Amino acid sequence: MDILDSLFERAQDPEDESDIPGEDTLLADYEAIRFMMVCSKWNGRPRDKATLSISHDGTEWVARMLDYDNSRSFGCTGKSIAEATESLSRTLLAGAAKWYYWSSSPTKGGNGKSATSSRKSGKPKRSPGKSE
């Protein structure tokens, strides 16, 4: 059981955000994506970390940002993983993301709404709805 103890110990959130190791491969040039994924605090307040999802839809690669802190997601496509990720980063940095907001009601299938501004209120839901 020592191995489990050591694995769980390493999984603890760091005390200081500056201690978070940088990703020096795929996400090296994508600071906005990286920080959404690793920062558990912003302006001294706790936040839910985001997730980057990569998939293939049959014709193109899809890079999707799941922003749990704001109950929203958006995605970009490309002919390669690098192209889709680059597009996602450019869109984030330009403030041009067409966010899909997840439903806060417990109905089957959800009633997420597409929008481009921040969520107005409510506690974030941890499961994403359908995306555009």
Contacts with 58 (C-beta within 8 Å, 6 or more apart), sequence order: none
Rounded CA Rg of the chain: 16
pLDDT band at 111 (very low <50, low <70, confident <90, very high): very low
pTM for this model (two decimals):
0.62
pLDDT tens digits along 7-55: 555 555 545 555 555 556 678 888 889 888 888 888 788 889 999 999 9
Structure tokens at 6: 């050591």
